[in-house]
Amino acid sequence: MVELIKEVRLAKLSVDQALLKAKSHAEKGEIEEAKKLYRDVLQALSLKPDYAVAYCNMGNALKEQGKLDKAIEAYRKALSLKPNFAEAYSDMGNALKDQGKLEEAIAAYEKALAIKPDYAEAYINLSFTYLLRGNLVKGFHLNEWRMKKDEPTARLPRTDFIWDRKTSLKGKSFFIYEEQGLGDIIQFCRYLPLLEQKGAKVTFKLKSKLHKLLQTLGSDVLINDQFPDKEKIDFEAPLMSLPFLFF
């Protein structure tokens, strides 16, 4: 604790800056260092003894260590200090989900969204929970919020090229573009032939190094690594939106 006070004074770190340093440790996988810094911030910096963000970040560090009960305790402390803390509700929902307490997790996410209705991360976390419950329709629908995150995994389809799931695809050109990693591509590419079965001419854009693998689909899907001219397509969607389009 003394060392932290000295470090804070020498470097003139604010509480926020100290927390950012702890967050950096956590992102590098240095969980013990992060947790120690969070704890020391809470104990040593008397300027903000009720700093809810610190308790929430402590919860995240504990969750990464698999100490879910202690993580939830930290989130509850954060919420006792800041009842309208949407991020703490969402993070607590993640810990409850990991414990298999899906109903409690859903309740936590819904509280986060009641506070912050446009909170994309909470919608995405909620989508995973509904998928775990077997509610595929709601789960895949909510997962569309992934494209509204601060750092989205894929761009939104352009308004003029969104398929309404009702218009016939017979003879239509449907452009699909990759998102996320190899595992997700392998998992979701099986939906491409389903578009063909509806009569669409399907083009799938992905990295050239994966072309050979995807050519084993056994379909007429055109695989390339370029975005086509918009005059040549009727509809478009990111790969992981295909389950939503079919449910």
Instruction: Give the residue from 117, 152, 187 where a domain finishes.
Output: 152
Nearest to 96 by CA among 123, 117, 126, 137: 126
Q: How far apart are alpha carbons 129 and 232 in whole angstroms?
A: 38
- Domain co-membership, 3 together with 72: yes
- Domain co-membership, 192 together with 230: yes
Report the pLDDT value the prediction gives residue 15, as an integer from 0 to 100. 54
Report the pLDDT value the prediction gives residue 18, as an integer from 0 to 100. 65
Judge whether 153 and 181 are in contact, CB under 8 Å.
no
Per residue in 182-223, pLDDT (tens digit) is 778 888 888 888 899 999 999 998 887 778 777 777 778 888
- Domain co-membership, 64 together with 103: no
Report the pLDDT value the prediction gives residue 220, as an integer from 0 to 100. 84
- Domain co-membership, 67 together with 145: no
Report the pLDDT value the prediction gives residue 29, as an integer from 0 to 100. 80
Judge whether 122 and 91 are in contact, CB under 8 Å.
no
Enclosing domain of residue 5: 1-83
- Domain co-membership, 203 together with 236: yes
- Domain co-membership, 164 together with 235: yes
Report the pLDDT value the prediction gives residue 122, as an integer from 0 to 100. 97
Residue 46 pLDDT level (bands cut at 50, 70, 90): very low
- Domain co-membership, 206 together with 233: yes
Instruction: Give the residue from 152, 182, 198 where a domain finishes.
Output: 152
55-64, 112-121, 169-178, range with the lowest pLDDT: 55-64
- Domain co-membership, 240 together with 172: yes
Per residue in 123-178, pLDDT (tens digit) is 999 999 999 999 999 999 999 999 998 888 788 898 899 999 899 999 999 999 98
E strand or H helix at 234, and its extent?
A: none
Residues 6 or more apart from 57 whose CB is under 8 A from it? 19, 22, 23, 26, 34, 38
**For residue 223, which amino acid is it?**
I
- Domain co-membership, 36 together with 2: yes
Domains in the chain, number = 3
Judge whether 116 and 86 are in contact, CB under 8 Å.
yes
- Domain co-membership, 73 together with 88: no
The percent helix, strand, coil of the chain (3-state, each to 5) is 65, 5, 30
The structure tokens listed for 236 are 């478009």
Residue 7 pLDDT level (bands cut at 50, 70, 90): very low
Residue 3 pLDDT level (bands cut at 50, 70, 90): very low
CATH number at residue 52: 1.25.40.10
Edge to edge, the sheet with strand 201-205 lists: 222-224, 201-205, 173-177, 235-238
**Does the structure show a pLDDT above 60 at 76?**
yes
Instruction: Give the residue from 57, 83, 109 where a domain finishes.
Output: 83
- Domain co-membership, 88 together with 78: no
Higher-confidence position of 47 and 184:
184
CATH number at residue 194: 3.40.50
